[in-house]
A and B are shown apart, each in its own frame.
Chain A
Amino acid sequence: DARVTQTPRHKVTEMGQEVTMRCQPILGHNTVFWYRQTMMQGLELLAYFRNRAPLDDSGMPKDRFSAEMPDATLATLKIQPSEPRDSAVYFCASGLSALAETQYFGPGTRLLVL
Protein backbone atom coordinates (compact mmCIF):
# COMPACT_ATOMS: atom_id res chain seq x y z
CA ASP A 1 0.00 0.00 0.00
CA ALA A 2 1.11 3.59 -0.59
CA ARG A 3 3.02 5.17 2.27
CA VAL A 4 5.03 8.27 3.02
CA THR A 5 8.64 7.28 3.57
CA GLN A 6 11.21 9.20 5.58
CA THR A 7 14.94 8.79 5.85
CA PRO A 8 16.85 8.47 8.04
CA ARG A 9 14.62 7.05 10.75
CA HIS A 10 17.13 7.97 13.43
CA LYS A 11 19.91 10.51 13.45
CA VAL A 12 22.42 11.35 16.16
CA THR A 13 24.69 14.28 15.46
CA GLU A 14 26.80 16.82 17.23
CA MET A 15 25.91 20.43 17.69
CA GLY A 16 26.92 22.53 14.72
CA GLN A 17 26.60 19.76 12.16
CA GLU A 18 24.28 19.91 9.18
CA VAL A 19 21.30 17.57 9.23
CA THR A 20 19.27 16.64 6.17
CA MET A 21 15.99 14.76 6.46
CA ARG A 22 14.25 13.37 3.41
CA CYS A 23 10.67 12.54 2.65
CA GLN A 24 9.10 10.73 -0.26
CA PRO A 25 5.42 11.68 -0.46
CA ILE A 26 2.78 9.29 -1.71
CA LEU A 27 2.77 9.26 -5.51
CA GLY A 28 0.25 11.75 -6.82
CA HIS A 29 -0.07 13.75 -3.63
CA ASN A 30 0.41 17.46 -4.23
CA THR A 31 0.64 18.77 -0.67
CA VAL A 32 3.54 18.12 1.68
CA PHE A 33 3.87 19.15 5.30
CA TRP A 34 6.78 19.07 7.73
CA TYR A 35 5.99 18.80 11.44
CA ARG A 36 8.13 18.67 14.55
CA GLN A 37 7.05 16.79 17.65
CA THR A 38 8.43 17.64 21.07
CA MET A 39 7.22 16.65 24.50
CA MET A 40 6.52 20.24 25.48
CA GLN A 41 4.87 21.54 22.32
CA GLY A 42 3.31 18.50 20.76
CA LEU A 43 3.17 18.63 16.97
CA GLU A 44 4.09 21.92 15.33
CA LEU A 45 3.81 22.71 11.65
CA LEU A 46 7.13 23.82 10.21
CA ALA A 47 6.44 24.11 6.48
CA TYR A 48 3.76 23.43 3.90
CA PHE A 49 4.16 22.88 0.16
CA ARG A 50 1.58 22.64 -2.57
CA ASN A 51 2.63 21.52 -6.04
CA ARG A 52 6.24 21.82 -4.82
CA ALA A 53 5.85 25.51 -4.02
CA PRO A 54 6.33 26.62 -0.42
CA LEU A 55 3.10 28.18 0.84
CA ASP A 56 3.83 28.57 4.51
CA ASP A 57 7.05 28.21 6.43
CA SER A 58 6.22 30.60 9.22
CA GLY A 59 6.68 27.87 11.81
CA MET A 60 10.26 27.29 10.82
CA PRO A 61 13.28 29.05 12.38
CA LYS A 62 14.53 30.81 9.25
CA ASP A 63 18.10 31.28 10.33
CA ARG A 64 18.93 27.58 10.48
CA PHE A 65 16.11 25.61 8.87
CA SER A 66 15.30 25.26 5.20
CA ALA A 67 12.75 23.15 3.38
CA GLU A 68 12.67 22.35 -0.32
CA MET A 69 11.01 20.10 -2.86
CA PRO A 70 13.54 19.47 -5.62
CA ASP A 71 10.96 17.34 -7.41
CA ALA A 72 7.54 15.85 -6.80
CA THR A 73 8.99 12.70 -5.24
CA LEU A 74 11.34 14.31 -2.74
CA ALA A 75 11.00 16.83 0.05
CA THR A 76 13.95 17.81 2.22
CA LEU A 77 14.31 19.54 5.56
CA LYS A 78 17.76 20.83 6.46
CA ILE A 79 19.10 22.19 9.70
CA GLN A 80 22.40 24.04 9.57
CA PRO A 81 23.88 24.42 12.10
CA SER A 82 22.03 22.02 14.36
CA GLU A 83 21.54 22.75 18.06
CA PRO A 84 20.54 20.52 20.99
CA ARG A 85 17.11 22.21 21.13
CA ASP A 86 16.42 20.82 17.65
CA SER A 87 16.23 17.32 19.12
CA ALA A 88 12.75 16.09 18.28
CA VAL A 89 10.85 13.78 15.96
CA TYR A 90 10.29 15.29 12.54
CA PHE A 91 7.30 14.09 10.55
CA CYS A 92 6.53 14.55 6.93
CA ALA A 93 2.95 14.24 5.71
CA SER A 94 1.47 14.30 2.24
CA GLY A 95 -2.03 14.70 0.91
CA LEU A 96 -4.22 15.32 -2.10
CA SER A 97 -5.50 18.58 -0.71
CA ALA A 98 -5.09 20.90 2.21
CA LEU A 99 -7.86 19.14 4.12
CA ALA A 100 -6.47 17.76 7.35
CA GLU A 101 -8.28 14.42 7.05
CA THR A 102 -6.54 13.68 3.77
CA GLN A 103 -3.03 13.85 5.19
CA TYR A 104 -0.91 10.76 5.56
CA PHE A 105 2.02 10.94 7.93
CA GLY A 106 5.36 9.27 7.50
CA PRO A 107 6.99 7.34 10.36
CA GLY A 108 9.19 10.27 11.35
CA THR A 109 12.89 10.97 11.80
CA ARG A 110 14.06 10.95 15.39
CA LEU A 111 16.84 13.52 15.71
CA LEU A 112 19.19 13.83 18.65
CA VAL A 113 21.66 16.69 18.66
CA LEU A 114 24.37 16.31 21.28
Chain B
Amino acid sequence: DQQVKQNSPSLSVQEGRISILNCDYTNSMFDYFLWYKKYPAEGPTFLISISSIKDKNEDGRFTVFLNKSAKHLSLHIVPSQPGDSAVYFCAASVTGTASKLTFGTGTRLQVTL
Protein backbone atom coordinates (compact mmCIF):
# COMPACT_ATOMS: atom_id res chain seq x y z
CA ASP B 1 0.00 0.00 0.00
CA GLN B 2 1.65 3.17 -1.23
CA GLN B 3 0.98 5.83 1.40
CA VAL B 4 2.78 8.53 -0.55
CA LYS B 5 2.04 8.73 -4.24
CA GLN B 6 3.58 10.68 -7.06
CA ASN B 7 1.28 9.88 -9.93
CA SER B 8 3.29 11.59 -12.64
CA PRO B 9 6.42 9.59 -13.42
CA SER B 10 7.74 12.37 -15.62
CA LEU B 11 7.26 16.02 -16.47
CA SER B 12 8.74 18.21 -19.18
CA VAL B 13 8.84 21.99 -18.81
CA GLN B 14 10.43 24.77 -20.81
CA GLU B 15 13.20 26.80 -19.28
CA GLY B 16 11.84 29.87 -17.55
CA ARG B 17 8.39 28.40 -17.01
CA ILE B 18 6.91 27.07 -13.79
CA SER B 19 7.36 23.41 -12.87
CA ILE B 20 4.69 21.92 -10.62
CA LEU B 21 5.31 18.52 -9.08
CA ASN B 22 2.52 16.86 -7.19
CA CYS B 23 2.34 14.42 -4.32
CA ASP B 24 -0.63 12.81 -2.57
CA TYR B 25 -0.70 10.95 0.70
CA THR B 26 -3.20 8.76 2.44
CA ASN B 27 -2.04 8.67 6.06
CA SER B 28 -3.65 11.54 7.96
CA MET B 29 -1.06 11.09 10.71
CA PHE B 30 1.69 12.51 8.52
CA ASP B 31 2.66 15.92 9.87
CA TYR B 32 5.93 16.71 8.14
CA PHE B 33 6.71 16.66 4.45
CA LEU B 34 9.92 16.94 2.49
CA TRP B 35 11.08 17.14 -1.09
CA TYR B 36 14.33 15.63 -2.29
CA LYS B 37 16.16 16.09 -5.56
CA LYS B 38 18.19 13.34 -7.14
CA TYR B 39 20.63 13.53 -10.04
CA PRO B 40 21.70 10.39 -11.91
CA ALA B 41 24.38 8.35 -10.13
CA GLU B 42 23.99 10.44 -6.99
CA GLY B 43 22.02 10.08 -3.80
CA PRO B 44 18.99 12.23 -3.05
CA THR B 45 19.60 15.64 -1.52
CA PHE B 46 17.18 17.48 0.71
CA LEU B 47 15.47 20.39 -1.01
CA ILE B 48 12.68 21.86 1.09
CA SER B 49 10.27 20.84 3.83
CA ILE B 50 6.99 21.90 5.35
CA SER B 51 5.28 21.23 8.62
CA SER B 52 1.56 20.53 8.78
CA ILE B 53 1.03 23.73 10.76
CA LYS B 54 1.86 25.67 7.61
CA ASP B 55 0.36 25.66 4.15
CA LYS B 56 3.29 27.19 2.31
CA ASN B 57 7.05 27.31 2.60
CA GLU B 58 9.33 29.17 0.23
CA ASP B 59 13.05 28.96 -0.43
CA GLY B 60 14.27 30.95 -3.38
CA ARG B 61 12.83 29.51 -6.56
CA PHE B 62 11.25 26.59 -4.68
CA THR B 63 7.90 26.73 -2.93
CA VAL B 64 6.04 23.86 -1.34
CA PHE B 65 2.29 24.06 -0.81
CA LEU B 66 0.37 21.80 1.54
CA ASN B 67 -3.36 21.15 1.36
CA LYS B 68 -4.14 19.04 4.40
CA SER B 69 -7.82 18.58 3.65
CA ALA B 70 -6.96 17.16 0.24
CA LYS B 71 -3.88 15.32 1.55
CA HIS B 72 -1.93 16.90 -1.26
CA LEU B 73 1.32 18.77 -1.55
CA SER B 74 3.04 20.33 -4.49
CA LEU B 75 6.45 21.70 -5.29
CA HIS B 76 6.65 24.77 -7.50
CA ILE B 77 9.87 25.75 -9.21
CA VAL B 78 9.88 29.22 -10.70
CA PRO B 79 11.58 29.91 -13.02
CA SER B 80 12.68 26.44 -14.07
CA GLN B 81 16.28 26.05 -15.13
CA PRO B 82 18.05 23.24 -17.02
CA GLY B 83 19.96 22.38 -13.85
CA ASP B 84 16.65 21.52 -12.21
CA SER B 85 16.37 18.45 -14.43
CA ALA B 86 16.40 15.59 -11.95
CA VAL B 87 14.14 13.12 -10.17
CA TYR B 88 12.14 14.66 -7.35
CA PHE B 89 10.93 12.58 -4.42
CA CYS B 90 8.39 13.68 -1.89
CA ALA B 91 8.49 12.14 1.55
CA ALA B 92 6.25 12.25 4.58
CA SER B 93 6.81 11.65 8.24
CA VAL B 94 4.76 11.36 11.40
CA THR B 95 7.46 12.83 13.59
CA GLY B 96 9.76 14.72 11.25
CA THR B 97 12.50 12.20 11.80
CA ALA B 98 14.34 10.33 9.10
CA SER B 99 13.58 7.00 10.73
CA LYS B 100 9.92 7.43 9.93
CA LEU B 101 10.08 8.76 6.38
CA THR B 102 7.78 7.33 3.72
CA PHE B 103 8.84 8.20 0.19
CA GLY B 104 6.99 8.46 -3.07
CA THR B 105 8.25 6.81 -6.24
CA GLY B 106 9.59 10.02 -7.75
CA THR B 107 8.87 12.32 -10.69
CA ARG B 108 11.48 12.88 -13.36
CA LEU B 109 11.60 16.56 -14.35
CA GLN B 110 13.13 17.55 -17.66
CA VAL B 111 13.66 21.25 -18.22
CA THR B 112 14.12 21.95 -21.89
CA LEU B 113 15.78 24.91 -23.53
Contacts and interface: CB of A to CB of B under 8 A. Distances in A.
Contact of B97 (A4, A42, A98, A108): A98
B26 to A, nearest CB: 14
Contacts of A103: 46, 98
Main secondary structure, interface of A, reads: strand
Contact of A105 (B43, B96, B99): B43
Q: How large is the interface on A (under 10, 10 to 19, 20 to 34, 35 or more residues)?
A: 20 to 34
Nearest to A110: B41
Interface stretch (A11-19, A43-51, A61-69, A71-79): A43-51
B103 interface: yes
A107 B40 CA distance: 9
B34 A101 contact: yes
A98 B43 contact: no
A110 to B, nearest CB: 9
Q: How large is the interface on B (under 10, 10 to 19, 20 to 34, 35 or more residues)?
A: 20 to 34
Nearest to A106: B43
A103 B69 CA distance: 29
A56 to B, nearest CB: 5
Contacts of B89: 42-43
Contact of A100 (B2, B4, B42, B101): B101
Given A43-B103, A108-B42, 14 more contacts: A41-B105, A42-B103, A44-B103, A45-B98, A56-B99, A91-B44, A95-B98, A99-B96, A100-B32, A100-B98, A101-B34, A103-B46, A104-B45, A106-B43
Interface of B: 2, 4, 6, 32, 34, 41-46, 49, 89, 91, 93, 96-99, 101, 103-106
28 contacts: A4-B43, A31-B98, A33-B98, A39-B105, A41-B2, A42-B104, A42-B105, A43-B89, A45-B99, A45-B101, A91-B43, A91-B44, A93-B98, A95-B98, A98-B97, A99-B96, A99-B97, A100-B46, A100-B93, A100-B101, A101-B46, A102-B98, A105-B43, A105-B45, A106-B43, A107-B42, A108-B41, A108-B42
